[in-house]
Amino acid sequence: MTARPVKLHLVPSAPVPEPSSDRAPASEVTEVRGDQPVRSSETSALDALGDESLVPLVAQGHMGATELLYRRHAAFAFNLGVRIAGSATDVEDVVHDAFLRAFESIGSLRNPKAFRSWLGSIVVHATRSRLRRGKLLRLFGLGRDGDVVDIDCIASDQASPRARAELAQVYALLRTLPADDRIAWTLRFVEGHDLKAAAELAGCSLATIKRRIRRAQRYLKNHFVAAHDGADGADKELEP
């Protein structure tokens, strides 16, 4: 019998963590007119800059550029962490730590245009460590309730109850996989990255990302009540 395909109905955008501050950054306000702060000309000029121009400013300690890079890429980093982990638990901490690591070592970034993917690889690495640690804790019966899949953080409001149940099953199965295989499959079929981008984010070779995706895909085929929508096409695409 041919298995029915599964469609991943995902949240298009998760909440964005804000910097830990109760006031607007000093670089963004020069005066107050009535009750409304007025954005400075410096901030407006920064907004027009691409990452390739902001990265050198961050390396020089420019706070306005640092804040702008954070706000520009926080949603991407947060959603990436949530969709790999399957819940928002601890993801905000992971994202903040990833940005701190990125800003501390930003001088080593050879291609400033690649800041987004470079940041993503840091988030993936940190999330991988968290997944491995969580799996080890569960082996000793020390896992937390927050480690379970939180479909409300992943499923779209438009997803039907059946689609939500299927999505929950996908993530429940992914949760049992080795972290590397889980991440590879998620980057390819949930985040929608091509193989090259997925390999860069995962910090491995193209051949390695293909092997990891194959293993995860085979596992899902064997254990899922309905096959993934792109299962057959994925196997064909992954042929060497």
Domain boundaries, the chain: 39-237
* Nearest residue to 66 via CA among 75, 50, 54, 49: 54
pLDDT of residue 151: 83
Query: pLDDT at position 5, please?
Result: 37
Alpha helices in 87-205, H assignment, sequence order? 91-104, 115-139, 161-174, 179-185, 195-202
For residues 51-74, average pLDDT: 94
Burial class (CB in 10 A: 0-12, 13-18, 19+), 161: exposed
| CATH class of segment(s) 39-237 | mainly alpha
Please work out, in degrees rounded to the nearest 5, the angle formed at the alpha carbon of residue 95 by the alpha carbons of 105 and 214. 95
Over residues 193-235, the pLDDT tens digits come to 999 999 999 999 999 999 999 999 999 999 987 644 444 444 4
**DSSP-derived secondary structure letter, 187:** I
pLDDT at 156 over 90: no
Extract the tokens encoding 92: 């905000």
Task: Using pLDDT thresholds of 50, 70 and 90, give the confidence band for residue 50.
Answer: very high
Q: What is the pLDDT of residue 218?
A: 95
Q: Please, which pLDDT band fits residue 58 given cuts at 50, 70 and 90?
A: very high
pLDDT, position 125: 95
Read off the amino acid at residue 91: V
Please determine, for residue 91, whether its predicted confidence score (pLDDT) is greater than 70. Answer: yes
Section 141-157 average pLDDT:
69
Higher pLDDT, 15 or 191: 191
The arithmetic mean of pLDDT across residues 172-182, rounded, is: 92
- pLDDT digits 0-9 by tens, 99-125: 999 999 999 999 999 999 999 999 999
d(CA 10, CA 182): 17
pLDDT at 28: 43
- Give the single-character DSSP code of 148: S
**Residue keyed to tokens 């550029």:** 65
